[in-house]
Structures are given as C-alpha cells and as structure tokens.
Amino acid sequence: MTMNVLGQIAWTIAYPGLFYVMVVYTSQVFVIVFLPLILYAFYRFFVQLTYFTWAFRIRRVLREYPWQLLKSVPSGLGKYQGARDDGMWFDFQNPADTEGRIPLVFIKHQRSYWWLKRMAGPRTKPHRRAQIEPLWFAGDPRFLAVVAASDRGGQAPKRLHMLYQRPVFDRRATPDAWGASGSDIERAQRAGAQGLDGTPQPQT
C-alpha cells in the first residue's frame, strides 16, 4: 500500500514536470525525445490510480486472513476444467473438502505480466518458477485471496496480487457453494466479498 501511494505521487509529479521541462527549457529538436516520456508518465499515472481500489481490497483481505506459506501449488496457463474464466490459474485445496480442488483464475490482468512468466508452463524457466515457491497465500479460495512471492530473504511477501471468484465482485454471476458454511461466507464478506448473499450453504 505504501509503495502504491509513493508511486502515485511520483507519477503525478513526473507527468506535469516533464511537460514543463519540455515546453520551457527544451528546444523543438528535443520534443520528439520528451514526448514519449510524457505519454508514458501520463499512462502510468492512470494505471497507478486505478490500482488504488485493488490496493485497499488487498489490505482488507489481509486484515481478515493470515498469511500461509504453501508449497507445490499447481498452476497453469489457459483453460482450467470447470472454471468460469480462461487464463492463468492457481489450484488450491478446498477448505471444506480435503479431496476437492478449487481454481483461482487471474480475472484482472493488470500487473499480472510478472506472474505470467512464473506460472507452470512448457516455456517457464525453472529459476523463474522457483520465485513463487513457496507461495504466500492469504484468503479463502472459494471467495477471494491475496497471493505473493517471497522477498530476497524469503521472510516477507512481495508482488501482492488479488485473486477472486467472479461472483465475489459480479452480482450477475451465480455464487458457487464450494461447501462454505455461514461463518465462512460472513468472514469473506468482512474481507470485502460483495456478491455472496445468495450463496447456497450445506445442509445440516
């Protein structure tokens, strides 16, 4: 969150700053040099701005769920059988069923290129794959979660990314049960899940 705020400040200053330097101090010959930098700073400003919503959602998840270190989490690229969406995915154990598996797909691809290069695939280099082994995980794969890689010392998470099931933020999608109890659903709602009011619960 702190880095996101600092990044927003930096790109907010960079865009008008570069524009001012180009207009006031630079001859027309160098406009072609500064213009791409200005356009890139403008792009990064808006990318950083849209990420604020996800940064707050990540923070909310981490307040409700503790970090876990998971080893050998299956992952892949493309279609996962039974998933609503195509794309990169992690495959987690269902908390309500030790034999069940639940995919979490990268529905939003903003800031996901780094992860793309490290998910299991035929072209994934072993040293890159090793950067997300073990995987930092906080959340409930039936609803929403935050995943992260280890820092250089392996003692803290970095590259935090939000994953979620589509019904969590899309009320048009029908919620899945996944064996979740009422308390599981309430906890996910405290963590920021929004579209779970109609989630079926197991019969007691």
Q: Which conformational region is residue 179 in: left (phi greater than 0), alpha (psi within -120 to 50 degrees), or beta? A: left
Cβ proximity of 8 and 49 under 8 Å: yes
Q: Report DSSP state, residue 111.
A: T
Strands of the sheet with 89-94, listed across from one edge: 75-76, 89-94, 97-105
Question: Roughly what angle, to the nearest 10 degrees, separates helices 2-25 and 31-64?
Answer: 170
- State the pLDDT at residue 90: 96
Measure CA 193 to chain center: 15
Total number of residues shown for the chain: 204
Q: In the chain, which residue ranges form alpha helices assigned H by DSSP? A: 2-25, 31-64, 113-116, 126-129, 182-190
- What is d(CA 101, CA 106) in angstroms, rounded to the nearest whole number? 16
Mean pLDDT score, 158-173 = 90
pLDDT at 93 over 90: yes
Which band of pLDDT confidence, cut at 50, 70 and 90, is reported for residue 39? Answer: low
Which band of pLDDT confidence, cut at 50, 70 and 90, is reported for residue 73? Answer: very high
pLDDT at 58 over 60: yes
**Residue predicted with more confidence, 107 or 135:** 135
The mean of the pLDDT values for the chain is 82
